[in-house]
Structure formats: structure tokens, C-alpha cells
Amino acid sequence: MDRPFHENICEEHLFSSIFNKYAKDLHNFLYYRYGDLLNPKDKVQEAFIKLWENCAKVTPDKAKSFVFTTANNLMLNEVAHQKVVLKHQKTKPKMYTNENPEFLMQETEYMDKLQKALSNLTYAQREAFMMNRVEGKRFKEIAEILDISTKAVEKRIYGALEKLRKDIKEL
């Protein structure tokens, strides 16, 4: 009865010797088969990581087969992923909307008015207003950030709202 000396490859020196023995051949195999674009070095590393994770299940005589099969499967998965990426890159997003042209024009004009009105605010008003409306911060948070009172924040935001309403109506 001729049994192998080691039943698995979980010993560091044994795993290291397997890595040193097969890593270069595995890299060359992947490089020749798939090229350099899919990172064969990374796949070699991943295959040996999987071997280490499953070291208790793999005997030394099955280690070469395990890493070559694992690395090849990793490359095939990467190839499939790249095909999906290319497929999605080829599809063009729709360049139309269900909105009528008049609505789109009004929306553009309104956005222009809003930007112009925002630029007419004082720096303090604009800062507090944007923190509240764009970033969603509460008055108390804004007060802490700006190191002012909550009442001052309220005054700045309400002043900004009044000025915006007035400027947008005039435009």
C-alpha cells in the first residue's frame, strides 16, 4: 500500500514549493492562451489564493491540476465579463424624451433664470441656501459648520428665498 507522504498541502513549505514549481508555467500558459490584456499575473495569484483556501482538500499530486483549472476558469470568467462590457458599450442610450419641445425650452429658460438669480445672492445667502437645499443639511448643522447662530441661518435662507422669488418673477 503506497500512500502519499502528505495528504494535503496546508504546510507552508509544501505550498511554497508548489507555488515556485508551477507559478511561472501557469503564467505562461495563461499569457499564451489569452494575452496580456486580462492580467494573467493576477489570475495566477488568485488561483494560488484559492488553492491555499482549499489546501485541506487538495493533495500534492492534484495541486497542479487544481491551479491550472482554477486559473483557466478565472480567465474564462473575465473573457465573459469583457464580452458583456463590450455589449453594453455598443448599446446607445435613447436620445429622445416624451416631453414636447415647448416644455424642454421652458425648462432650459427656467434653469437659466435660476442660475442667474442664484448668482445675484450674497455669498452668505448662497452658501446657506445651497447647504440647505442641495446638500439637505438642517439649519442647526449649517449653523455649526458656519459657526453662526441658527437664527442667522434662518435669516440667510429666508432672505435668499425672497430674493430668488423676486428675481425669477422679474426675469
Residue pLDDT, tens place only, 82-120: 888 888 888 777 666 677 888 888 888 888 888 888 888
Domains contained in the chain, CATH given: 12-90 (no CATH), 101-170 (1.10.10.10)
The DSSP-derived string for the chain is ----S-S---SHHHHHHHHHHHHHHHHHHHHHHH-STT-HHHHHHHHHHHHHHTTTT--GGGHHHHHHHHHHHHHHHHHHHHHHHHHHHHSPPP---SS-HHHHHHHHHHHHHHHHHHHTS-HHHHHHHHHHHTS---HHHHHHHHTS-HHHHHHHHHHHHHHHHHHHHH-
The pTM assigned to this predicted structure is 0.51
